[in-house]
Structure 1
Amino acid sequence: MEKFVKYFLSSKSFTWLLMILILGGGLFSYFNMGKLEDAPFTIKQAVVITPYPGASPMEVETEVTDVLAEAIQEMGELYYIKTDNREGLSKMTIYLKKELRADQMQQSWDLLRRKVGDAQAKLPEGASKSIVQDDFGDVLGVFYGLHGQGFTPRQLEDYAIEIKNGLLNVKDVAKVTLYGIQKRSLYRNYLAAHTSISK
């Protein structure tokens, strides 16, 4: 340790150069370091759900899951597939390779949708259309509740849509989803007219 200190004391030019390089590297790292409170990250998995009403788990596996898996396995980006076959439902979780970059993900999901879409013709007649869910990256969010005494559900829905449109104009807001909107129904009142005839 003593030799080490003596070397740096005797080689002042090298010592100053080393200190400037360390300081420069530190400043460069500081200004280029990510500073987001909630840093974005990419989830490289999607779920393919296919309802097959009335089918047993074995029928779901052989007639739906295996057919879809065969088509999906043609993807070069595929890491592995995890399947869950239940009565009347096929659920497949698709994992992509870890080395895929974030800017390549959308192209991979488009390819997955095409593969699943092409396999639909091979599914049995009772199977519903497969649903591909790949928006698991939307993990950063805030929940807001809207309520108002004396307002009808339709008025609250109109206000919620107005707030949604305003929030979509805010920087870094990618998506706004409304939950709890009541289904609209049309009611008719029938008036039964009774007439009595007296003789």
Structure 2
Amino acid sequence: MLKEVLIILILFILPFLLIYNKLIPKKYYLVALFTVLIFTLILVFVENVSPKDLGIRIDNFKQTYLPHLIFTFISLVVLLIFIKYNGSIPIKEWWLDRHFRYFFVIISFTQVFLFLGYFLPKLQVIFPSIWIAILVNGIMFASVHIFYKDFVAMFPLLILGGVGFAAIYAFYPNLILAGISHSILNFFIVLYGYLSVLK
């Protein structure tokens, strides 16, 4: 368990604190994210973690696609209600932005790989209850968005989304489906200008 605690501290808490305390400029937030990804991939190789253990699998697609689909649909409906309530409009010429051409997919799959494929199993070793691990994972997911200006306004949705993603994945582990789901939600969130501008 000590190893898992150290991994969470070094790969998640340390980069988070360095940016929060301005030892790393916030503009390098995504650089830090992909640096964590590189070190995580190294650990995956060293620990000999199989793709299946990371949730990269198609053998359980029939058993897992429906829960992921339902979660995505419900999350999208809630998100669109939130958007309509706030009177938000799509950003202009969004199709010219690299984020909407390809970057939202890269970011989304990176996040689900880190938080669901790698961090969640570590948290399940640390905590005696899977639900505590799911809750902590959801809080971790929400916390990495603290550097955005609208973090407070988005926090309830981030917590619900983070816990929801972790819960669905814990019982229906398929990283490909989780990545697709997150990509869809990420697209609409940024399309309407949320979680786009750093503080």
**TM superposition score normalised by structure 2:** 0.27
Q: Tell which structure's C-alpha radius of gyration is larger.
A: 1
**TM superposition score normalised by structure 1:** 0.27
Q: Which of 1 and 2 has higher RCO (CA within 8 Å, sep 6+)?
A: 2
Compare the two structures and name the one with the higher strand fraction: 1
Compare the two structures and name the one with the higher helix fraction: 2
